[in-house]
Amino acid sequence: MTTSRALIIAVDGPAASGKGTIAARLARTYGLPHLDTGLLYRAVGLGVLDAGGDLDDAAAAEAVARSLDVSLLSDETRLTTGEAGEAASRIAGYPGVRAALLKLQQDFAGQAGGAVLDGRDIGTVIAPDAVAKLFVTATPETRATRRWKQLTARGDAIAYEDMLADIVRRDERDAGRGAAPMVQAEDAVLLDTTDLDIEAAFDAARRIVEAARANHGL
């Protein structure tokens, strides 16, 4: 028997896999609110740096996470820098930081009409009961090229080789940590975007969500 429930869509995957764009477009398509959970970790990382703190100091990062200044979340330009991404992945392994950000994310996922969240642990930890779970990936080289184009288009100076090294280091850190490591949920559908442009990737994502909705009688 199927029970009717809210349409929660969990989109996980590594940096620059296309998960953010896919999640945003799914949210528009289904008229759902969208949370890019990476922004929370980025805001905490930058909050530590802004306070003159040390990213190796777990207690300092947890304190920032507990009193997260949500106005920081609107500063998209700063939050999407390589510096913010690196800071985020360094503090994201602290269990206290993850615990401090848990309720906010679960409340967002629990909204009456449903929600789309993207991150690393949405399908495994934040919303294990999500109706649709996608794990979006692509080769490190493809992801580095995409991120390099984005950053250089807006004037950030970074060499492709450094970008690739950053991506590989971040993957290792995110997948290797003890607390909520980046891993495909058992019931998530893998979507490899290496050879797909954004339209094709989005079409594939929508088909996965439609199949999941049909499965749940939604």
Window 3-22: residues binding ligand C5P (CB under 6 A): 15
Select from 10, 35, 92, 116 the one that contacts ligand C5P (CB under 6 A): 92
Window 146-175: residues binding ligand C5P (CB under 6 A): 170, 174
Q: Identify which of residues 152 and 213 has a Cβ nearer to ligand C5P in the complex.
A: 152
Question: Rounded to an integer, what distance in angstroms lies between the CA atom of residue 200 and that of residue 202?
Answer: 5
Determine if 25 is a binding residue for ligand C5P (CB under 6 A).
no
**CB-based burial, 36-50: b 16+ in 10 Å, e otherwise:** bbbbbbbbbbbbbbe
The residue of the chain with the least Cβ separation from ligand C5P equals 38
Region for residue 117 given its phi and psi (left: phi exceeds 0; alpha: psi -120 to 50; beta: otherwise): beta
AA identity, residue 40: L
Question: Rounded to an integer, what distance in angstroms lies between the CA atom of residue 35 and that of residue 15?
Answer: 16
x/- string (CB under 6 A) for ligand C5P, residues 38-57?
A: x--xx---------------
Determine if 89 is a binding residue for ligand C5P (CB under 6 A).
yes
Question: Rounded to an integer, what distance in angstroms lies between the CA atom of residue 23 and that of residue 7?
Answer: 13
Q: How many helices (H) and strands (E) does the chain have?
A: 9, 5
Minimum Å gap between C-beta 29 and ligand C5P is 21
Q: Identify which of residues 118 and 209 has a Cβ nearer to ligand C5P in the complex.
A: 118
Residues that bind ligand C5P (CB under 6 A): 15, 37-38, 41-42, 85, 88-89, 92, 119-121, 170, 174
